Amino acid sequence: MIKSLYVRVVLTFLGVILMSLVLTVVVDYWFYGKKLELEKQDSLIVGGKAIIHSIEESDQASLEAIMQGLMAIPVYTLKIYTEDKLLFESILPNSEEIQISTEQLEYVLKGGVYRSDFGPGKVMIGLPFQVKGLPHALFIAPREEFLLGGLAQLSIILFFGCVLILIAARYIVTPLQRLTRATRRMAKGDFSIQLQTKRKDEIGQLTASFNQMAKELGMLEQIRQQFVSNVSHEIQSPLTSIKGFTQALMHKKMDEPARIRLLSIIEEESMRLSRLSESLLQLSSLESEHLQLHPRHYPLDEQLRKVVIAYEPQWTAKKLNVELELDEIDICADEDRLNQLWNNLLSNCIKFTGEGGTVQISAAKKKDQIVVAFTDSGKGIPEAEFSSIFKAFYKVDKSRDGSVHGSGIGLSIVKRIADLHQSDIQVSSRVGEGTKFTVTLPEAPLEEKM
């Protein structure tokens, strides 16, 4: 089995050329062979008549000189007979002798013009003439290399064609071999590969696509490593606290208030782990390819009011002013998933808004879209962070000092739910002035969009 593309390309090209050559010869023989043979014979007859004319016009004294001159002609093999006697013969080097049968000789001596049977290669003409009243016969055949000249030229063309095909095939296959080697390196985890190419054809496009794939896989690998690092950090931090406070309870004598305080911290860290685990499960579920939404019609404004009521203990504890500006809106969407989205956005607003601040929630129809906005008066987000805040475990607070509790998964869940609903989410913010998240949903029923 031939596995090399280079060999396959070469053999395919050679096969096509050889097949074309065979078909050309067959077609040429069947459709043009007789015509070419006739043209060759007619050419020999013209040449033979010229020779005969020279002989007939000469006298006996100069006949020998004419014969010597004919021997010097490198184009034809000649034989001249008188009755049944060979009078003259000129055989070209590296040529076969003309075989003349008795019937052929008698036919020409009686005045007939002999033409060889049609066939590939051999052509011979027999012409009658008289010298001093005696019948003579001239048999003439062309030099074989003239008959085979076209085939020789074709062979040369075929040879150079094969050489060019070998070069062209190497030009095609070499970048594919480079891609194969690069793919093997990538399979071992090396995503830093960038192949150089100036080609604009399909192979050039394939190389460019490969480079883009390697770049994106490298970015995915970095994200994966960062994700593992972040998960490890988020899990390790509460586990370290739980372990430390548990050991303190076991080995230290303390009064009841101190013991209750440590137990409260352990409970809080355990709940933090529980929330992290729940968030990871939600994110994994939303990333699943088999996830199916269950859209239905329901009042969006009523859903937003219920979310605000559910978080009343959190925003009242921080003495926040929550303002609602909701139009009556009927929407067709997955109610549970959107409820997750609104919960995460409101939780985010409450978390990053200082005591006595303001949270505004609005919902309105604009043309064929529904626009929902969550605005807070918190500390804001630097503009350079906008493109990263929806990544899992990303935190604007790089120090992770624990002053603001959270796993950094909430906005990743928000973004995924928005994408599932063919919706757009934008963020605008100024440091020290607050942040605004705007979700733009299609007004058309979700089942018509999916």
Convert the pLDDT of each residue in 165-197 to its tens digit. 777 677 777 777 888 888 888 888 888 888 887
Query: Per-residue pLDDT for 401 more than 50?
Result: no
Instruction: Go through the domains of the chain in sequence order and give each one's CATH number.
Output: 5-150 (3.30.450), 191-291 (1.10.287.130), 292-449 (3.30.565.10)
Average per-residue pLDDT in the chain? 75
Query: Per-residue pLDDT for 399 more than 50?
Result: no
In the chain, the percentage of residues whose pLDDT exceeds 70 is: 68
Q: What integer is the mean pLDDT of 275-292?
A: 65
Is-contact 377 430, C-beta < 8 A? no
Is-contact 98 77, C-beta < 8 A? yes
In the chain, the percentage of residues whose pLDDT exceeds 90 is: 10
Measured distance CA(346)–CA(375) in Å, rounded: 9
Query: Per-residue pLDDT for 421 more than 70?
Result: yes
**Which range among 76-80, 210-214, 380-384 has the greatest average pLDDT?**
210-214
- For residue 57, the model assigns a pLDDT of 65
| Main-chain dihedrals φ then ψ at residue 386, nearest 5 degrees | -55, -40
Between the CA atoms of 439, 444, 448 and 450, what dihedral angle is there, to the nearest 10 degrees? -10
Q: What integer is the mean pLDDT of 103-129?
A: 79
Is-contact 336 399, C-beta < 8 A? no
Measured distance CA(253)–CA(180) in Å, rounded: 68
- For residue 87, the model assigns a pLDDT of 76
Half-sphere exposure of 277 (CA within 13 A, CB side): 8
Number of H helices, E strands in the chain: 13, 12
Determine the 3-state secondary structure of 428 from DSSP.
strand
Please choose, from the candidates 437, 435, 392, the residue with its C-alpha nearest in 3D space to the C-alpha of residue 412: 392
DSSP characters over 93-128: TT-PPPP--HHHHHHHHTTPPEEPPP-SS---EEEE
- For residue 150, the model assigns a pLDDT of 52
- If one compares 419 and 152, the residue with the highest pLDDT of the two is 419
- For residue 363, the model assigns a pLDDT of 93
- For residue 118, the model assigns a pLDDT of 45
C-alpha gyration radius of the chain: 49
Write out the E strands in 188-333: 296-299, 321-326, 330-333
- If one compares 135 and 155, the residue with the highest pLDDT of the two is 135
CA 373 from centroid of its chain's CA atoms: 42
CA-based torsion, 296, 298, 304, 309: positive or negative: negative
Which tens digit of pLDDT belongs to each residue from 224-246?
A: 776 676 667 667 777 887 888 88
Measured distance CA(277)–CA(442) in Å, rounded: 32
Residue 56 pLDDT class (50, 70, 90 cuts): low
- For residue 325, the model assigns a pLDDT of 93
Measured distance CA(435)–CA(379) in Å, rounded: 8
- For residue 415, the model assigns a pLDDT of 86
- For residue 450, the model assigns a pLDDT of 45
- For residue 166, the model assigns a pLDDT of 72
- For residue 448, the model assigns a pLDDT of 45
- For residue 390, the model assigns a pLDDT of 75
- For residue 374, the model assigns a pLDDT of 94
Q: Among all chains, which residue has been given the structure tokens 């879209």?
A: 369
Residue 304 pLDDT class (50, 70, 90 cuts): very high
Measured distance CA(120)–CA(141) in Å, rounded: 14
Q: What integer is the mean pLDDT of 49-67?
A: 63
Query: Per-residue pLDDT for 315 more than 50?
Result: yes
Which tens digit of pLDDT belongs to each residue from 370-392?
A: 999 999 998 888 877 776 777 76
DSSP characters over 365-406: EETTEEEEEEEE-SS---GGGTTTTTSTT--S-TT--SSS--
Q: How many CB atoms lie within 10 A of CB 232?
A: 10
Give the lowest-confidence range in 115-124, 368-377, 432-441.
115-124
Q: What integer is the mean pLDDT of 250-261?
A: 79
Q: Strand pairing partners for 332?
A: 297
- Burial (CB count within 10 angstroms: exposed 0-12, middle 13-18, buried 19+), residue 142: buried
Query: Per-residue pLDDT for 398 more than 60?
Result: no
**Consecutive H or E run containing 336:** helix 335-351
Q: What integer is the mean pLDDT of 316-344?
A: 89
- Burial (CB count within 10 angstroms: exposed 0-12, middle 13-18, buried 19+), residue 156: exposed
**Which range among 24-33, 36-45, 302-311 has the greatest average pLDDT?**
302-311
Measured distance CA(341)–CA(333) in Å, rounded: 12
Residue 17 pLDDT class (50, 70, 90 cuts): confident
